[in-house]
C-alpha cells in the first residue's frame, strides 16, 4: 500500500503561497482494503519529523479529500508533513515526507519599492552585486516587479515561470513570489530584475486599450528582499533601496496585446538612476496564482510560401504561448514575426485580432541569438516570418504557456470527429488558463469574462485539476466586489469596468459551488461565502419590489442564433429578464446550500426562502395558466425543464422537441442554453436528440467546426463559413472555450461519470452511461480527489455490449446499466442501482434494444409524439 498525491491546499510542496488554514489531501494506492479506517497527520518543522508542532493522532474523521488543520503557522517556515493511513484490511502505511513553506505573511518588508526615471521605452533592469563571506544554509528571494518581471542570477533566469507577478486586482493587492536561491547565492554574483509592461502598466482592458493608456500609474517599480540564513544561524536581509542600480535593456516595447520590440543595435547598457517610489501601493501578499510555465513545445508542421510571397509556418494547432527561434542576421536587419489563427485565401490573416498587433520585432546586432519573448503571449497557429534570410522550420519552436493545472481527465470515443472535438476543448482550456480564465487568448481582449468562466467550469474540473487556479480568480472576484457593494463586474480583474450581467456575475456563486462539488473542500465555500452573499444581496437590493433586476440590461443567451428584430445580433432571442430571474433564484439557492454546508443556519433558511419565492414569481410571471412558457425558445424551455418551472413538464418536453423539429434538429442556443442543452435532454430521456445535436456535422453544431479543420473551440457557431472565409472580424475568436462545455456532458452522460452533491469530491459517483451506435465505444478516466474512476463501454454487435468500471480505494459508485434486460438488472441492483465498492468490474450482456438504432445521430422518436 502506498500514499501518493499528497497535497497542501491542492498544491504539491508549495513554496511561498498564501496558506491560511492548511488543507491536506492524499490518495491511497495498492491497498488490499477498500476504505480507510483511520489516519494521522503530523506536521513538523524538521524533515526528520521527530518533533511535531501538530499531530491529529489516529482519528476516524480525517478525510483524504480535504482535511483542514487548525494550526497556527509562522512566516518563512518550511513545514514538513506526513500522513499515516490504516485500512479495513489491517494495513498501515505512511507517506513520504512532504512540505510547504510559508511566505513573509505579516512580516514587514525591509525592501522598499524602487523605480527609475524613465517611464516608457527601453525596459529597465534593476540589479545588485552580492558577495558572500560565510557558508550559506539557505537563501530566499521574495520579489514583485510591476508591470511584469523576470529575475536573473548571473544572467540565468531564476525559476521557470512566465508573466510574474501575474494578473490580479492590482488596486487591492499585489502578489509576490518566493524563489529558493540557495545554490545561486552560494556562488555570489549579480541579481538582476528585468521589468516589462504587462497587464498593470501596458494598454489592457476595454477602456484602456482604446485610449492606449494603462490602468495603473505608469511607472516601473520593483520590490525585493533576499533573505540569507547562514550556517552559523545568522540571518541577513538585503532589500531593494536607493543603493540598487539600474540600466536600460534593449527591449523597447512590450505589451500583452501587441507583442515585443527588441533593438540590439542599441548599446548593451544605458545606465540610469534609482529612486524610491513615492506612491502608496496596495498590500503585498503571498501568491495565489499557480505558476505559468512552458508546458509543451511544438515544432512547425509545415512551411509555406503564399501566392503573395509571404513565408508562413503552420504549427498545426491553435495554441496560446510564445516561441523560441534561432537567428543570425547581419547588423541592422529587422526580423518581424506576426501571429494569426487562420489563413484566408491561402494568405496570412490577422484581422480578427482587432487592434492587437501580436508581433515580435527584432533588430539584429549581427550576432547569433535565440529569441524568446518575456512579457507577452500570442494566440496562434500561423506565424508570418519576415527578415530571416533562410527560414528553417526546425529553428522555430512554439512554446505553449498555461498555468499548472495537472491533467485529470482522459476521454476517448470510437468516433474520430468527437475525439477531435474533445481535444479542441482541451486546447481551449490550455489556451485560456493563463493565470486568469479568459474568453480568448489572441485579440485585444483576453480578459476574465465571468460568464465564459462559469459556463466552462465543470468541464475544466473534469479535464484538469483546476481548484488552485480558480481559487485565485474567486479571491479576485471578492476583491472587486468590495469596491462595488457586491456587484460582480463582467470581467475579473475588472480594469475599472463596472458593468454587470446575470449569468456572468452569477459566476460568484456557481464556480465555488462547482469546486466544492468536484473537490469536496469546504474551505473554498468559506473563502467565498462573503462574495456569494454580497452578490445575492446586491441583486436583492437592485430588484426591490419592482423586480428591477430583470429590467436592467443583461447579456442573456449571448450569441444564440434565435435573435430577431432590431439591435445587437449577438443578443439571443430569449427574454433576458427571464434568464436574469432564473439565475438570481439559482444563485440564492446555491448560497443557501453553501450556508447549510458551513453551518450558517439562519442564512440557509433565509436564502432558501428567497430562492423559493423567486421561483414562484417566475412561475407566475413567465408561464400561462396551462403551463406554457411565455418565452418560447430552446433555451427558455431548457431552463424550464432544468428548474422544473412549469406544472406541465411533459408538455414543455414536447414543445422543445417540436421546436427542434421545425429547426431540422439543429440548435440555436447561446452561452446560457448550450451548457445545459445535452445534459438536460438526457435528464429528460431525450438522448436521441442530444446525440443528434452532438453528431450533426452541419452548421450550427460542434462537429461542423471540427470538419472545417478547427483545432480549438470557436466563439461563434459560424466563426468560419463553409467556404472557409471568416464570418466577421468584430468579435470572432477561434479559441473561445465556452461551447467546449459539451465535454462535461460527454463525461457525465456518455461515459456516465457524475459527481454526487451529497458526497462531494467524488467520494461517491453515479455512473450511468448512455450508449450510441455512432460512437461505438467510450473510455473515460477521471482522476478525482477520491481516486481514479474509470468507465467504459463497447458495442460488440447489434445486441451485445461490454462495460467496465473501476472504483478506487475509498470510493463508491451507483451504477445504472444501459439497455439492460430486466432479468440481468434484477440480479445486480439493490434499490435503483448496482452498488459498486472499490475494484475492477466488467460486465457483458445481451441488450434489450437493437444497438444499431440507439442514438445514431437521427431523431426518430419525434414522429411518435403528438403535439
Ligand atoms: C467576450 C465574450 C463575453 C462577451 C460578453 C465578448 O467580447 O469575448 O466571451 O462573454 O463579450 O459581452
Three state DSSP letters for 121-157 = CCCEEEEEEECCCCCEEEEEEEEEEECEEEEEECCEE
Work out which ligand 1 atom sits closest to the CA atom of 736: 9
Q: Is-contact 636 562, C-beta < 8 A? A: no
Estimate the share of the chain in helix, then strand, then coil, as percent rounded to the nearest 5. 25, 30, 45
User: CA 240, CA 225: separation in Å to the nearest integer?
Assistant: 7
pLDDT value at residue 860: 82
CA of 735 to the centre of ligand 1 (A): 12
In 204-351, where do the E strands start and end? 221-230, 235-239, 245-248, 251-255, 259-263, 270-272, 274-276, 284-286, 292-298, 302-305, 311-328, 334-340, 342-344, 347-349
CA of 439 to the centre of ligand 1 (A): 7
Work out which ligand 1 atom sits closest to the CA atom of 570: 12
User: CA 466, CA 430: separation in Å to the nearest integer?
Assistant: 11
Q: Is-contact 755 768, C-beta < 8 A? A: no
CA of 467 to the centre of ligand 1 (A): 24
CA of 425 to the centre of ligand 1 (A): 18
Nearest alpha carbon, ligand 1 atom 2: 439
Nearest alpha carbon, ligand 1 atom 12: 555
Of the candidates 353, 162, 376, 402, which has an alpha carbon nearest to the alpha carbon of residue 251?
Answer: 376
Q: 54-81 burial string, b = 16+ CB within 10 Å, else e?
A: bebeeeeebbbbbbbbebebeebebbbb
Nearest alpha carbon, ligand 1 atom 3: 449
Of the candidates 520, 579, 751, 561, which has an alpha carbon nearest to the alpha carbon of residue 668?
Answer: 561
CA of 556 to the centre of ligand 1 (A): 11
Long-range pairs of 132-136 with CB within 8 A, sequence gap ≥ 24:
132/185, 132/186, 132/188, 132/228, 134/230, 134/231, 134/232, 134/234, 135/230, 135/231, 135/232, 136/182, 136/185, 136/186, 136/228, 136/229, 136/230, 136/231
- Secondary structure (3-state) at 548: helix
CA of 294 to the centre of ligand 1 (A): 27
User: What is the number of residues in the chain?
Assistant: 867
User: CA 150, CA 158: separation in Å to the nearest integer?
Assistant: 8
- Secondary structure (3-state) at 513: helix
- Please, is 316 exposed, middle or buried when counting C-beta atoms within 10 Å of its C-beta (0-12, 13-18, 19+)? middle
CA angle 151, 155, 161 (to 5 degrees): 35
User: CA 336, CA 312: separation in Å to the nearest integer?
Assistant: 12
CA of 455 to the centre of ligand 1 (A): 12
Which residues are CB-contacts of 719 (< 8 A; sequence separation ≥ 6)?
705, 726, 727, 732, 733, 734
CA 648 to chain CA centroid, nearest Å: 38
CA of 450 to the centre of ligand 1 (A): 9
CB neighbours (10 Å) of residue 826?
A: 9
pLDDT value at residue 862: 53
Which residues are CB-contacts of 616 (< 8 A; sequence separation ≥ 6)?
none
Ligand 1 test: best mutation among 356, 446, 451, most atoms within 8 Å of CB?
Answer: 451
Nearest alpha carbon, ligand 1 atom 11: 449
**Would you say the C-alpha torsion 563, 569, 570, 576 has a positive or negative sign?**
negative
pLDDT digits (tens, 9 = 90+) for 742-774: 999 999 999 999 999 999 999 999 999 999 999
CA of 215 to the centre of ligand 1 (A): 20
Which residues are CB-contacts of 167 (< 8 A; sequence separation ≥ 6)?
198, 199, 289, 435, 436, 493
pLDDT value at residue 215: 66
- Secondary structure (3-state) at 482: coil
How large is the angle between the packed helices 507-519 and 450-463, nearest 10 degrees? 10
Which residues are CB-contacts of 297 (< 8 A; sequence separation ≥ 6)?
397, 398, 399, 400
Q: What is the tally of helices (H) and strands (E) in the chain?
A: 17, 44
Residue 580 belongs to what H/E stretch?
Answer: helix 576-598
User: CA 56, CA 576: separation in Å to the nearest integer?
Assistant: 52
- Cell numbers 429547426 label which residue? 663
CA distances from 790 to 406, 806, 835 (A): 18, 5, 15
CA distances from 574 to 413, 577, 646 (A): 34, 9, 17
Q: Which residues pair with 3 in a beta bridge?
A: 28
Ligand 1 test: best mutation among 210, 356, 438, 439, most atoms within 8 Å of CB?
Answer: 439
Work out which ligand 1 atom sits closest to the CA atom of 450: 10
User: CA 847, CA 799: separation in Å to the nearest integer?
Assistant: 5
pLDDT value at residue 864: 42
Work out which ligand 1 atom sits closest to the CA atom of 449: 10
pLDDT value at residue 206: 74
Intervals of the chain under pLDDT 50: 864-867
CA of 442 to the centre of ligand 1 (A): 13
Of the candidates 861, 806, 817, which has an alpha carbon nearest to the alpha carbon of residue 681?
Answer: 861
CA of 732 to the centre of ligand 1 (A): 10
Ligand 1 test: best mutation among 355, 379, 440, 449, most atoms within 8 Å of CB?
Answer: 449
Work out which ligand 1 atom sits closest to the CA atom of 738: 9
User: CA 717, CA 253: separation in Å to the nearest integer?
Assistant: 36
Give the CA diameter of the chain: 90
Ligand 1 test: best mutation among 558, 560, 728, most atoms within 8 Å of CB?
Answer: 558
- Secondary structure (3-state) at 777: strand
Of the candidates 521, 560, 444, 539, which has an alpha carbon nearest to the alpha carbon of residue 484?
Answer: 539
CA of 502 to the centre of ligand 1 (A): 13
pLDDT digits (tens, 9 = 90+) for 466-487: 999 999 999 999 999 999 999 9
User: CA 379, CA 358: separation in Å to the nearest integer?
Assistant: 8
- Cell numbers 481582449 label which residue? 445
pLDDT value at residue 565: 76
Nearest alpha carbon, ligand 1 atom 9: 439
CA of 654 to the centre of ligand 1 (A): 32
Nearest alpha carbon, ligand 1 atom 1: 439
CA of 570 to the centre of ligand 1 (A): 10
CA of 438 to the centre of ligand 1 (A): 10
Work out which ligand 1 atom sits closest to the CA atom of 440: 8
Work out which ligand 1 atom sits closest to the CA atom of 452: 10
Q: How many CA atoms lie within 13 A of 131 on its CB side?
A: 1
- Secondary structure (3-state) at 650: helix
CA of 736 to the centre of ligand 1 (A): 9
CA of 607 to the centre of ligand 1 (A): 30
Work out which ligand 1 atom sits closest to the CA atom of 504: 10
User: CA 39, CA 211: separation in Å to the nearest integer?
Assistant: 59
Work out which ligand 1 atom sits closest to the CA atom of 451: 10
Of the candidates 598, 477, 782, which has an alpha carbon nearest to the alpha carbon of residue 68?
Answer: 598
Work out which ligand 1 atom sits closest to the CA atom of 731: 7
Q: Is-contact 364 264, C-beta < 8 A? A: yes
Nearest alpha carbon, ligand 1 atom 5: 555
Phi, psi of 527 (to 5 degrees): -60, -40
- Cell numbers 433558511 label which residue? 605
Q: How many CA atoms lie within 13 A of 647 on its CB side?
A: 8
CA of 449 to the centre of ligand 1 (A): 7
Instruction: Kindly list the protein residues whose Cβ atom lies closer than 6 A to any atom of ligand 1.
Output: 439-440, 445, 449, 451-452, 555, 558, 731, 736
User: CA 696, CA 667: separation in Å to the nearest integer?
Assistant: 10
pTM for this model (two decimals): 0.97
Work out which ligand 1 atom sits closest to the CA atom of 671: 10
CA of 575 to the centre of ligand 1 (A): 18
CA of 400 to the centre of ligand 1 (A): 24
163, three cell numbers:
508573466
Q: Which residues pair with 528 in a beta bridge?
A: none
CA of 298 to the centre of ligand 1 (A): 29
CA of 447 to the centre of ligand 1 (A): 9
User: CA 322, CA 300: separation in Å to the nearest integer?
Assistant: 13
CA angle 414, 415, 418 (to 5 degrees): 125
Nearest alpha carbon, ligand 1 atom 8: 439
pLDDT value at residue 211: 58
Amino acid at each position: 500500500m502506498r500514499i501518493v498525491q499528497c497535497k497542501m491546499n491542492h498544491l504539491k510542496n508549495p513554496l511561498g503561497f498564501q496558506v491560511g488554514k492548511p488543507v491536506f489531501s492524499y490518495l491511497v494506492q495498492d491497498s488490499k482494503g477498500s476504505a480507510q479506517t483511520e489516519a494521522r497527520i503530523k506536521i513538523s518543522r524538521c524533515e526528520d519529523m521527530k518533533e511535531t508542532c501538530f499531530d491529529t493522532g489516529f482519528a476516524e474523521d480525517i478525510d483524504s479529500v480535504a482535511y483542514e488543520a487548525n494550526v497556527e503557522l509562522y512566516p518563512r517556515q518550511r513545514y514538513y508533513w506526513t500522513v499515516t493511513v490504516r485500512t479495513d484490511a489491517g494495513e498501515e502505511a505512511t507517506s513520504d515526507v512532504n512540505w510547504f513553506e510559508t511566505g513573509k505573511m505579516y512580516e514587514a518588508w525591509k525592501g522598499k519599492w524602487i523605480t527609475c526615471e524613465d517611464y516608457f521605452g527601453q525596459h529597465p533592469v534593476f540589479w545588485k552585486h552580492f558577495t558572500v563571506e560565510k557558508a550559506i544554509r539557505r537563501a530566499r528571494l521574495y520579489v514583485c516587479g510591476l508591470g511584469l518581471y523576470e529575475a536573473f542570477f548571473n544572467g540565468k533566469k531564476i525559476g521557470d515561470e512566465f508573466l510574474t507577478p501575474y494578473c490580479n486586482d492590482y488596486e487591492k493587492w499585489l502578489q509576490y513570489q518566493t524563489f529558493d536561491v540557495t545554490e545561486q547565492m552560494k556562488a555570489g554574483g549579480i541579481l538582476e530584475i528585468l521589468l516589462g509592461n504587462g497587464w498593470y502598466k501596458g494598454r489592457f482592458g476595454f477602456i484602456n486599450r482604446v485610449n492606449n493608456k494603462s490602468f495603473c500609474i505608469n511607472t516601473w517599480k520593483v520590490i525585493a528582499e533576499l533573505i540569507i540564513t547562514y550556517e552559523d544561524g545568522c540571518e541577513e536581509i538585503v532589500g531593494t533601496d536607493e543603493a540598487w542600480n539600474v540600466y536600460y535593456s534593449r527591449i523597447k516595447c512590450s505589451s500583452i496585446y501587441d507583442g515585443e520590440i527588441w533593438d540590439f543595435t542599441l548599446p548593451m547598457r544605458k545606465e540610469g538612476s534609482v529612486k524610491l517610489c513615492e506612491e502608496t501601493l496596495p498590500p503585498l501578499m503571498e501568491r495565489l496564482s499557480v505558476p505559468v510555465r512552458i508546458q509543451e513545445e511544438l515544432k512547425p508542421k509545415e512551411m509555406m510560401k503564399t501566392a503573395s510571397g509571404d513565408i508562413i509556418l503552420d504549427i498545426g494547432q491553435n495554441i496560446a504561448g510564445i516561441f523560441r527561434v534561432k537567428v543570425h542576421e547581419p547588423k541592422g536587419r529587422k526580423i518581424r514575426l506576426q501571429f494569426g489563427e487562420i489563413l484566408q485565401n491561402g494568405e496570412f490573416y490577422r484581422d480578427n485580432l482587432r487592434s492587437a498587433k501580436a508581433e515580435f520585432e527584432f533588430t539584429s546586432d549581427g550576432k547569433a541569438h535565440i529569441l524568446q519573448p518575456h512579457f507577452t503571449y500570442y494566440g496562434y497557429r500561423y506565424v508570418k516570418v519576415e527578415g530571416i534570410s533562410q527560414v528553417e522550420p526546425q529553428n522555430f519552436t512554439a512554446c505553449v504557456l498555461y498555468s499548472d493545472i495537472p491533467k485529470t481527465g482522459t476521454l476517448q470515443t470510437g468516433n474520430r470527429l468527437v475525439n477531435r472535438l474533445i481535444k479542441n476543448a482541451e486546447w481551449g482550456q490550455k489556451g485560456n488558463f493563463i493565470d486568469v480564465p479568459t474568453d480568448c487568448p489572441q485579440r485585444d481582449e483576453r480578459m476574465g469574462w465571468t460568464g465564459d468562466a462559469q459556463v466552462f467550469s465543470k468541464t475544466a474540473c473534469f479535464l484538469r485539476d483546476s481548484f488552485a487556479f480558480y481559487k485565485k480568480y474567486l479571491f479576485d472576484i471578492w476583491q472587486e466586489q468590495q469596491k462595488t457593494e457586491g456587484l460582480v463586474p463582467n470581467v475579473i480583474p475588472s480594469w475599472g469596468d463596472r458593468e454587470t450581467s446575470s449569468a456572468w456575475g452569477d459566476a460568484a456563486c456557481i464556480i465555488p459551488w462547482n469546486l466544492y462539488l468536484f473537490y469536496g473542500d469546504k474551505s473554498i465555500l468559506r473563502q467565498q461565502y462573503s462574495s456569494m452573499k454580497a452578490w445575492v444581496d446586491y441583486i436583492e437590493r437592485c430588484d426591490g419590489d419592482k423586480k428591477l433586476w430583470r429590467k436592467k440590461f443583461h447579456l442573456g443567451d449571448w450569441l444564440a442564433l434565435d435573435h430577431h428584430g432590431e439591435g445587437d445580433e449577438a443578443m439571443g432571442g430569449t427574454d433576458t429578464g427571464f434568464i436574469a430571474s432564473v439565475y438570481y433564484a439559482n444563485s440564492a439557492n446555491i448560497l443557501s446550500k453553501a450556508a447549510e454546508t458551513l453551518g450558517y443556519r439562519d442564512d440557509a433558511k433565509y436564502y432558501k426562502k428567497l430562492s423559493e419565492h423567486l421561483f414562484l414569481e417566475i412561475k407566475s410571471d413567465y408561464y400561462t395558466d396551462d403551463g406554457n412558457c411565455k418565452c418560447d425558445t430552446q433555451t427558455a424551455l431548457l431552463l424550464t425543464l432544468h428548474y422544473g418551472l412549469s406544472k406541465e413538464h411533459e408538455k414543455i418536453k414536447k414543445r422543445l422537441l417540436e421546436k427542434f423539429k421545425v429547426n431540422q434538429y439543429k440548435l440555436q442556443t447561446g452561452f446560457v442554453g448550450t451548457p445545459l442543452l445535452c445534459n438536460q435532454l438526457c435528464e429528460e430521456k431525450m438522448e436521441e436528440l442530444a446525440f443528434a445535436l452532438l453528431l450533426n456535422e452541419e452548421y450550427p453544431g460542434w462537429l461542423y467546426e471540427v470538419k472545417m479543420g478547427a483545432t480549438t473551440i470557436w466563439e461563434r457557431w459560424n466563426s468560419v463559413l463553409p467556404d472557409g472565409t471568416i464570418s466577421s472580424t468584430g468579435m470572432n475568436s477561434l479559441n473561445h472555450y465556452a461551447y467546449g462545455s459539451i465535454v462535461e456532458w460527454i463525461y457525465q452522460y456518455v461515459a456516465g461519470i457524475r459527481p454526487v452533491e451529497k458526497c462531494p469530491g467524488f467520494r461517491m459517483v453515479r455512473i450511468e452511461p448512455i450508449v450510441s451506435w455512432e460512437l461505438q465505444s467510450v473510455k473515460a478516466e477521471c482522476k478525482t480527489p477520491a481516486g481514479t474512476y474509470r468507465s467504459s463501454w463497447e458495442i460488440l454487435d447489434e445486441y451485445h455490449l461490454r462495460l467496465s468500471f473501476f472504483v478506487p480505494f475509498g470510493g463508491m459508485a451507483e451504477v445504472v446499466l444501459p439497455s439492460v434486460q430486466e432479468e440481468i438488472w434484477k440480479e445486480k441492483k439493490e434499490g435503483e442501482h448496482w452498488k459498486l465498492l472499490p475494484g475492477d468490474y466488467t460486465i457483458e450482456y445481451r441488450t434489450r434494444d437493437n444497438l444499431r438504432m440507439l442514438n445514431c445521430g437521427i431523431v426518430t422518436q419525434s414522429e411518435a409524439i403528438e403535439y
